[in-house]
């Protein structure tokens, strides 16, 4: 049961006297204010990547590895290929932090030198794959029709070629060197990237903003470069982080079967291959360090790729 | 049915072109190898050399050599070895391939079955301890190259603990380590893939429906969910075959298994070009045909593929 005052109050509330109101200037600044800081796609992706502990572990490891690959060989007092038979198979000590190998070479120096080779091969191969893949996939997906059909048939044929066998074949004939290894790795390596770019382009090219851009009379090349590619960048980056470890693995694998980088270069695969016999005799460190760094580098790229996949997926954006 | 036939014919055509590309590639590479194959360390006089070249048709123009080469490959004749006298590539293949094949089949069966099981368990325990544990191991499994895993296994299980024999291919005990070294990578890939597709499938309405009908969880998982979760696994089988096949090169080398992979690596180290080329063509053809079979199986299994316009618009 309501009291009398309450009833009176509700009645007057319906016809409020004018003097109760006061005029308030509209604040234009405040109107535009956004309560939460706005995040671009990349800022948001970065924020989510930082939250992923494994991905950050991978990223930090890779940054440190890159730094050590650059300065490691300079820090060490030993030459990469300085052989010294009296120092053969020294266990890790203050003098040789990672020990020495079958020819008395310093494993610490060689490990960072190997990091240079592995990272270089991985990055350059991935970069070439991305470049060719973007051009091929971009044109194929954007042009469509007959062009797309022909370009995709070529890809389907190349996709069927067994990657490592073609690489082996080329290296047998061309002779193994840094340049030929990268050439062999990229000659069919770009196909996967081209497929991904094409799929992305096919999807994005039907969006309204592309139509808007076209109606302004923007040139095709500019549309691909400015509108299509930035929007397709997520999956491209993810694919790239997965291409690098496969190139690093391929290089190590090739070194292992005797088709890798030749002296005076030292790669992790060569080091692992050299120390196969040593492990049975108990000189574990000669195999341990290259093996650890190959595995951990692949691990770092894999978890970083996983993290990026989640971070760059717009569907998972909160 | 008509679409199906058209789809198969199209894949068949692509397969034949791919085979042609690899055959042509090996031919071009072969004629570009510096020096004559008979011009090796053994000093032979010019007449002998000319006779040898005539015998292998090396004195013919390239296009005739090319046609002869295609003919010999189609008739399954991969030529002689130049480093091992009186041996042909076919001899090596018939000796080594059955062993490699055995190793490969055991590896694939193990990788597929255990990979799928681990993937299901991880998906059912999503974000639980088992999920993190198995997926952590799976990332490690993908990251450690098989030749490094192989040496680790030899050192720990064969040399230190002496549980398994280190080398050769004689009894089931000999098979354990090489199969384990070779299967871990594919197993990890399958487990991760199965997990992610299972997670996706498990949220679908028809799974809710199946549960609502009162089916046992066992039946829901294996009859309804798994069937659809397996499709992506089928698509990567081609890549897995290729990975396992190239994996046998190093694994057979490390474990001293007298398979084809080991002959292949030996021929690479000795630069025995006919053997390298012949084996590559044989292996490539094998993989390309496998890829074709996988594609067709996928087409049959997945009713959603509109075969008449796959890869088109």
- Please name the member of A166, A173, A306 whose beta carbon is closest to the beta carbon of B32: A173
Q: Could you give the CA distance from residue B248 to residue B270 in angstroms, rounded to a whole number?
A: 19
% of chain B exceeding 90 in pLDDT: 6
Instruction: Flag residues of chain A having pLDDT under 50.
Output: none
Query: Across residues B264-285, what is the average pLDDT?
Result: 84
3-class DSSP assignment, residue B88: strand
* CB of A249 closer than 8 Å to CB of A298: yes
Q: Do A298 and B242 touch (CB under 8 A)?
A: no
Is the per-residue pLDDT at B35 higher than 80? no
Q: Do B139 and A168 touch (CB under 8 A)?
A: no
Is the per-residue pLDDT at B124 higher than 60? yes
CA distance readout (Å), B67 to B20, B63, B71, B279, B304 = 12, 6, 6, 19, 42
pLDDT of residue A278: 67
- Please name the member of A158, A257, A299 whose beta carbon is closest to the beta carbon of B249: A257
ipTM of the complex: 0.80
Is the per-residue pLDDT at B311 higher than 50? no
Phi-psi category of residue B185: left, alpha or beta, with phi > 0 → left and psi -120 to 50 → alpha: alpha
- Please name the member of B151, B254, B287 whose beta carbon is closest to the beta carbon of A162: B287
Give the total residue count for chain A. 318
Cis peptide before B57 (omega within 30 of 0): no
Query: Across residues B195-210, what is the average pLDDT?
Result: 85
More confident residue, B41 or A227: A227
pLDDT of residue A127: 92
Whether A206 contacts chain B with CB within 8 A: no
Query: Across residues B8-31, what is the average pLDDT?
Result: 86
- Please name the member of A169, A287, A302 whose beta carbon is closest to the beta carbon of B26: A169
pLDDT of residue B109: 92
Q: Please enumerate in sequence order all residues whose Cβ is within 8 A of that of A269, keeping only pairs 6 or more positions apart, or say none.
A: A251, A252, A253, A254, A255, A256, A260, A261, A290, A294
pLDDT of residue A59: 92
More confident residue, A305 or B155: A305
A256: nearest CA in chain B?
B250
Query: Across residues B116-143, what is the average pLDDT?
Result: 87
Whether A203 contacts chain B with CB within 8 A: no
Cβ-Cβ pairs closer than 8 A, A with B, add up to 116
Mean pLDDT of chain B: 81
Is the per-residue pLDDT at B138 higher than 70? yes
For chain B, helix (H) and strand (E) counts, in that order, are: 13, 0
Whether A306 contacts chain B with CB within 8 A: yes
Is the per-residue pLDDT at B157 higher than 60? yes
A260 CA to chain B: closest CA distance, Å?
Answer: 12
pLDDT of residue B310: 43
3-class DSSP assignment, residue B80: strand
Q: Could you give the CA distance from residue A190 to residue A192 in angstroms, rounded to a whole number?
A: 6
Q: Grade residue B308 by pLDDT with cuts at 50, 70 and 90.
A: very low
Residues in B closer than 8 angstroms to A169, CB to CB, are 25-26, 29, 276-277, 280
Q: Please enumerate in sequence order all residues whose Cβ is within 8 A of that of A180, keeping only pairs 6 or more positions apart, or say none.
A: A170, A171, A174
pLDDT of residue B145: 86
Q: Do B21 and A256 touch (CB under 8 A)?
A: no
Q: Could you give the CA distance from residue A249 to residue A122 in angstroms, rounded to a whole number?
A: 9
pLDDT of residue A240: 87
Q: What is the pLDDT of residues A84-120, one digit of tens each?
A: 666 666 777 767 677 777 666 777 888 888 888 888 9
Phi, psi of B80 (to 5 degrees): -90, 165
- Please name the member of B33, B151, B283 whose beta carbon is closest to the beta carbon of A276: B151
């Amino acid at each position: 049961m309501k009291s009398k005052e309450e009833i009176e109050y509700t009645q007057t509330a319906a016809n409020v006297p004018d003097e109760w109101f006061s005029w308030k200037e509209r604040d234009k600044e405040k109107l535009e204010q956004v309560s939460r800081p706005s995040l671009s796609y990349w800022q948001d992706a970065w924020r989510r990547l930082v939250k992923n502990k494994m991905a950050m572990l991978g990223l930090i490891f890779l940054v440190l590895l890159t730094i050590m690959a650059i300065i490691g060989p300079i820090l060490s007092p030993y030459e990469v290929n300085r052989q010294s038979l009296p120092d053969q198979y020294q266990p890790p000590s203050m003098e040789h932090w990672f020990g020495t190998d079958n020819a008395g070479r310093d494993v610490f120096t060689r490990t960072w030198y190997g990091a240079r080779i592995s990272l270089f091969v991985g990055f350059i191969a991935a970069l070439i794959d991305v470049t060719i893949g973007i051009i091929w996939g971009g044109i194929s997906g954007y042009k469509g029709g007959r062009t797309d059909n022909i370009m995709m048939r070529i890809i389907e044929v190349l996709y069927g070629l067994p990657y490592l066998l073609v690489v082996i074949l080329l290296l047998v004939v061309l002779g193994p060197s840094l340049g030929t290894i990268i050439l062999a790795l990229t000659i069919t390596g770009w196909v996967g990237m081209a497929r991904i770019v094409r799929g992305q382009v096919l999807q994005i090219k039907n969006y309204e903003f592309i139509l808007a851009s076209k109606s302004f009379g923007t040139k095709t090349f500019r549309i691909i470069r400015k509108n299509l590619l930035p929007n397709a960048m997520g999956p491209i980056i993810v694919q790239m982080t997965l291409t690098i470890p496969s190139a690093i693995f391929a290089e190590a694998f090739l070194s292992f079967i005797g088709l890798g980088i030749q002296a005076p270069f030292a790669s992790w695969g060569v080091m692992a291959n050299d120390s196969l016999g040593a492990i049975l005799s108990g000189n574990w460190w000669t195999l341990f360090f290259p093996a650890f760094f190959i595995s951990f580098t692949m691990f770092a790229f894999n978890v970083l790729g996983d993290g990026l996949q989640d971070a760059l997926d717009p569907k998972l954006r909160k | 049915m008509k679409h199906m036939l058209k789809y198969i014919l199209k894949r068949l055509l692509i397969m034949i072109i791919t085979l042609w590309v690899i055959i042509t590639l090996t031919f071009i590479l072969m004629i570009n190898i510096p020096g004559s194959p008979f011009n090796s360390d053994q000093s032979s006089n010019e007449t002998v050399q000319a006779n040898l070249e005539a015998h292998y048709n090396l004195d013919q123009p390239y296009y005739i050599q090319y046609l002869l080469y295609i003919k010999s490959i189609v008739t399954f004749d991969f030529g002689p070895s130049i480093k091992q006298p009186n041996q042909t590539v076919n001899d090596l293949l018939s000796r080594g391939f059955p062993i490699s094949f055995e190793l490969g089949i055991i590896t694939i069966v193990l990788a597929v079955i255990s990979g799928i099981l681990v993937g299901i368990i991880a998906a059912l325990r999503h974000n639980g301890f088992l999920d993190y544990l198995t997926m952590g191991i799976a990332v490690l499994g993908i990251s450690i190259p098989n030749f490094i895993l192989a040496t680790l296994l030899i050192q720990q299980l064969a040399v230190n603990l002496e549980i398994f024999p280190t080398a050769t291919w004689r009894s089931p005990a000999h098979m354990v380590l090489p199969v384990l070294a070779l299967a871990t990578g594919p197993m990890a890939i399958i487990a991760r893939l199965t997990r992610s597709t299972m997670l996706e499938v498990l949220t679908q309405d028809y799974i809710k429906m199946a549960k609502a009908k009162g089916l046992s969880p066992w039946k829901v998982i294996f009859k309804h969910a798994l069937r659809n979760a397996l499709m992506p696994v089928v698509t990567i089988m081609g890549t897995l075959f290729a990975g396992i096949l190239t994996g046998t090169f190093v694994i057979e080398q490390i474990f001293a298994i007298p398979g084809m992979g080991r002959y292949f690596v030996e021929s690479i180290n000795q630069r025995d070009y006919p053997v390298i080329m012949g084996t590559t063509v044989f292996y490539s053809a094998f993989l390309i045909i496998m890829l074709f079979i996988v594609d067709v199986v996928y087409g049959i299994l997945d009713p959603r593929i509109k075969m008449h316009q796959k890869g088109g618009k």
